[in-house]
Chain A
Amino acid sequence: MRQPTAQLQRGSVVIITLWTITLMIILVAVLASQTRLSAEVAYAHKLELTNFAAQQSALNQAEMELMMERMPLPPEQQQSNDVSAASLNQALKTPAYRYNGQTLKLAYPQADNIEVRIWEHAGKINLREISPPHLRQLLEKKLGGQGKADTDKLDMLMDAWTDWNDLNDGVSPKGAEKDYYLGLPTPYLPRNGKPETVEEILNIKGFAEVFADVDLDAAFTLYGQDELVNLNVATVEAMRLLPGLDDDSIGKILAWRKDHEFQGNGDVAQLVPPEKMNDLRPWINSRKTTGYYTIMISTKPEAKADGDDNKTDTTAKPADKAAAKKTATDDNTPPPTAFAETVYAPSPTDRPQVLKINPYQQIPLDPEPLAAAAEAKK
Chain B
Amino acid sequence: MKKSAGFTLIELVVAMTLTALLLGMLTVGLYGVVNDWQRDGSALDTTLDRTLVVLQLDRALQSAFPHSYIDTKKLGQYVYFEADKNSLSFVSTVSPQRKAGLTAWYLTSDDKKGVQLKQTPAFADDPRLRLDDLDPVPLLPEYTAQWSFLLQKNADTKEWVQEWSGRDHQSLPIAVHLTLTPREKGGSKQVLEILAPIRVWRNPSLQPIAPTN
Contacts and interface: CB of A to CB of B under 8 A. Distances in A.
B113 to A, nearest CB: 26
Contact of A5 (B3, B26, B77): B3
B65 A186 contact: no
Contacts of B69: 189
A354 B98 contact: no
A164 B70 CA distance: 13
B47 to A, nearest CB: 9
Nearest to A344: B204
B34 interface: yes
B93 A192 contact: no
A357 B94 CA distance: 9
Contacts of A16: 19, 22
A225 to B, nearest CB: 14
Nearest to B19: A16
A247 B50 CA distance: 47
Contact of A41 (B44, B62, B121): B44
B34 A356 contact: no
Interface string A83-124: 000000000000000000000000000000000000000000
Interface stretch (B81-89, B124-132, B160-168, B179-187): B124-132
A203 B124 contact: yes
A376 interface: no
A48 to B, nearest CB: 9
B205 interface: yes
Contacts of A27: 26, 29-30, 33
Nearest to A215: B100
Contact of A360 (B30, B33, B98): B98
B153 interface: no
B63 A30 contact: no
A5 B62 contact: no
Most B C-beta atoms less than 10 A away, residue of A12, A23, A196, A353: A196
A195 interface: yes
B37 A34 contact: yes
Contacts of A193: 70, 77
Contact of A194 (B4, B30, B98, B205): B205
A363 to B, nearest CB: 14
Nearest to A197: B102
Contacts of A164: 124
Interface in A130-173: 164
A121 B98 CA distance: 24
Contacts of A30: 30, 33-34, 37
Contact of B62 (A188, A190, A197, A357): A357
A372 B22 CA distance: 73
A84 to B, nearest CB: 44
A156 B76 CA distance: 29
Contacts of B120: 186
Given A27-B33, A192-B70, A200-B101, A20 B26 contact: yes
13 contacts: A5-B4, A30-B30, A34-B33, A41-B48, A188-B125, A188-B130, A190-B125, A193-B70, A196-B67, A202-B101, A355-B204, A360-B94, A362-B100
Given A37-B41, A188-B130, 8 more contacts: A186-B121, A189-B124, A199-B101, A202-B101, A216-B100, A357-B63, A360-B98, A362-B100
6 residue pairs, one from A and one from B, having the closest CB atoms: A191-B124, A189-B125, A188-B123, A199-B101, A354-B199, A358-B93
